[in-house]
Amino acid sequence: MSRLVAVSNRLPLGDNPSGGLVVALADALRSSGGLWVGFSGEQAEEPADRLVFHDGAPFERASFDLTPTDYEAYYLGYSNSVLWPVCHGRPDLMHIHPEELEGYRRVNARIADLLVPHLRPDDRIWVQDYHLFPLAAELRSRGVTARIGHFLHIPFPGPSDMATLPNPDEMFDWLSHYDLLGFQAERDLSNFVESARQLARIEPLAEGGYCLNGQETRAGVFPIGIDTAAFIEEARHAQVEDRMRSLTGSEIMIGVDRLDYSKGIPHRFRAFQLLLENNPDLHECISFLQIAPPTREEVEAYRDIREETEHLAGRINGQFATVNWTPIRFIHRPLPRKVLAGLYRQARIGLVTPLADGMNLVAKEFVAAQDVSDPGVLILSRFAGAAETMEDALIINPHDTWELAEAMACAIRMTPNERRRRHSALLQGVIENDIGWWSATYLDALN
Ligand code: ADP
Ligand code: F6P
């Protein structure tokens, strides 16, 4: 079996990683073994011109540092102030600076230089996410002939958002050098085809193949999953139940997200406010626990969303809190996974309300963590990739505060039979399409 070489921007070297990519890829590499290459998270004025290898089974890890200038241009700049907002339907938050695009190209070229000496001809190279779109082109120009696939963890933009990029032509050129393009949802594959049809040259070939700007590639949908069996066990053995009960004395509604403007956290706070306004009988009966670790705080839009969220939570608590009850508790830091698993299990409602999201693994973790005999209810945005396969959740439009508040009320009052019926259908999907299924299906297609 040929070796799997995964390349991503983020390489988890510490504890408690948050973010779907690292959680999923760690789960996938644990079973297949291989090499994972990524950014160490460290900035250095003069980074080493070779990869640094880190000990630790069951897979090899190798990292590189970035200069502060490259970090700013490639990660904070083009990746997270251009590609991220555009892919999440917020081109109004985009900041275009030509030197940042230059830095993005430069870092991808440098990663190719660092990687090439460690590659074998029969490796399968699996490039992850939007930080590394140009990597296949850079590797090919250095003579790499191994199979190279790309998987996009976030949504692919439709033509009108795609056209707001400073370089849509170049984007399609980057993509055309991959053997396989993987997307989270049907929505993304059709956006890719439609955007390419309007902004580049694309012709369908047989069996998911395309001729993109004169190069043959294939594209498909591979919805990512979680390590379901391990997460079920984690949740079953978590010991937080009594602690949680004594803390609140009421039912819990939980949200777990990086504090990102794409996650719709203010929208769910406003819906909770409306729920409390319209249902005085629910006061002191339900509490909202929002766990939202910081992310990309050097980018202005992320500082704004933090301020907005904290302000809103404070206002709602000021409006409704009693001496015995704090309606919203907001934890702004990462938690160990086993604690998260226990909190999900304890919650009566899981709130996953992104305005745009590739998949959203929290939706799957919430389902896996439930006690099958008394499960909680998942409220899921129709704009999460997960909504394509998790139809037994309460599917909502997060922009519609009334609909969301109504779904919260419906979840609180749902009968145990109805909760069990919905949960059992959801759990079956999360078990069948787990992380092993995702990586095996993708890598089969790449082979
Ligand atoms: P994204 O990739 O955009 O962050 P996902 O929902 O797909 O969104 O993945 C988020 C991952 O990060 C999940 O595995 C979730 O458990 C984890 N995570 C989110 N918040 C925390 C937190 N506070 N502590 C630990 N892990 C977290
Ligand atoms: O899953 C989408 C994603 O952007 C990953 O690529 C990334 O690792 C994760 O969210 C967290 O973001 P960041 O690595 O910028 O903290």
Looking at the predicted complex, does its ipTM rise above 0.85? yes
170 and 300 together in one domain: no
Domain assignment present for residue 440? The answer is no
The answer to whether 377 and 409 have CB atoms below 8 angstroms apart is no
84 and 103 together in one domain: yes
Q: Is 153 a catalytic residue?
A: yes
Domain assignment present for residue 125? The answer is yes
Q: Which of 189, 221, 253 is the last residue of a domain?
A: 221
- Is the CB of 235 within 6 Å of ligand 1? no
Domain assignment present for residue 364? The answer is yes
Domain assignment present for residue 445? The answer is no
The atom number, within ligand 1, closest to the CA of 256 reads 20
**Closest residue by Cα to residue 394 from 428, 361, 367, 365:** 367
Domain assignment present for residue 276? The answer is yes
Domain count, the chain: 2
Write the single-letter amino acid at 391.
E
pLDDT of the chain along its 447 residues, tens only? 789 999 999 998 876 565 678 877 887 788 778 999 999 999 999 999 999 999 877 889 999 999 999 999 999 999 999 999 999 999 999 999 999 999 999 999 999 999 999 999 999 999 999 999 999 999 999 999 999 999 999 999 999 999 999 999 999 999 999 999 999 999 999 999 999 999 999 999 988 899 999 999 999 999 999 999 999 999 999 865 555 555 567 899 999 999 999 999 999 999 999 999 999 999 999 999 999 999 999 999 999 999 999 999 999 999 999 999 999 999 999 999 999 999 999 999 999 999 999 999 999 999 999 999 999 999 999 999 999 999 999 999 999 999 999 999 999 999 999 999 999 999 999 999 999 999 999 999 998
277 token code pair: 């306004």
182 and 302 together in one domain: no
In this structure, the strands spanning 209-212 and 202-204 are antiparallel
- Is the CB of 12 within 6 Å of ligand 1? no
pLDDT at 402: 98
**Closest residue by Cα to residue 238 from 385, 378, 336:** 336
Q: Which of 161, 190, 221 is the last residue of a domain?
A: 221
Q: Measured between alpha carbons, how far is 66 from 56 in angstroms, rounded to an integer?
A: 23
294 and 145 together in one domain: no
Strand partners for 380: 352, 395
pLDDT at 51: 97
pLDDT at 247: 57
- Is the CB of 153 within 6 Å of ligand 2? yes
- Is the CB of 361 within 6 Å of ligand 1? yes
- Is the CB of 134 within 6 Å of ligand 1? no
310 and 242 together in one domain: yes
pLDDT at 1: 73
The atom number, within ligand 2, closest to the CA of 8 reads 6
Domain assignment present for residue 88? The answer is yes
215 and 315 together in one domain: no
415 and 295 together in one domain: yes
Q: Measured between alpha carbons, how far is 123 from 148 in angstroms, rounded to an integer?
A: 9
Report residue 170 CA to chain centroid gap: 25
Domain that holds residue 22: 4-221
104 and 253 together in one domain: no
Q: Which residue has the tokens 């409704």?
A: 320
The atom number, within ligand 2, closest to the CA of 22 reads 8
Phi and psi torsions of 274, nearest 5°: -65, -40
Catalytic residue among 173, 357, 392, 434: 357
Interior angle at CA 442, CA 438 and CA 446, nearest 5: 165
Q: How many CB atoms lie within 10 A of CB 206?
A: 6
Q: Starting from the CA of residue 333, give the closest ligand.
A: 1
Q: Starting from the CA of residue 129, give the closest ligand.
A: 2
Q: Starting from the CA of residue 343, give the closest ligand.
A: 1
The enclosing domain of 75 has a CATH number of 3.40.50.2000
Mutate which of 8, 18, 129 for ligand 2? The one with the most ligand atoms within 8 Å of its CB, which is 129
278 and 156 together in one domain: no
103 and 212 together in one domain: yes
Q: Which of 221, 237, 258 is the last residue of a domain?
A: 221
**Closest residue by Cα to residue 155 from 210, 85, 247, 250:** 85
Nearest CA to ligand 1 atom 26: 18
Catalytic residue among 131, 150, 153, 423: 153
pLDDT at 28: 76
Q: How many CB atoms lie within 10 A of CB 347?
A: 24
347 and 245 together in one domain: yes
Q: Measured between alpha carbons, how far is 210 from 194 in angstroms, rounded to an integer?
A: 12
Q: How many CB atoms lie within 10 A of CB 216?
A: 11
Report residue 217 CA to chain centroid gap: 25
Domain assignment present for residue 379? The answer is yes
**Closest residue by Cα to residue 32 from 441, 386, 359:** 441
The atom number, within ligand 2, closest to the CA of 154 reads 2
Domain assignment present for residue 286? The answer is yes
CA 20 to ligand 1 centroid distance, Å: 6
Q: Measured between alpha carbons, how far is 385 from 354 in angstroms, rounded to an integer?
A: 10
Q: Does 58 sit behind a cis peptide bond, omega within 30 degrees of 0 on the bond before it?
A: yes
**Closest residue by Cα to residue 135 from 4, 7, 10, 2:** 7
Mutate which of 15, 16, 18 for ligand 1? The one with the most ligand atoms within 8 Å of its CB, which is 18
Query: Residue 387 is inside which H or E element, if any?
Result: none
The answer to whether 212 and 200 have CB atoms below 8 angstroms apart is yes
Strand partners for 290: 255, 330
Q: Is 357 a catalytic residue?
A: yes
pLDDT at 31: 77
Strand partners for 254: 289, 350
387 and 314 together in one domain: yes
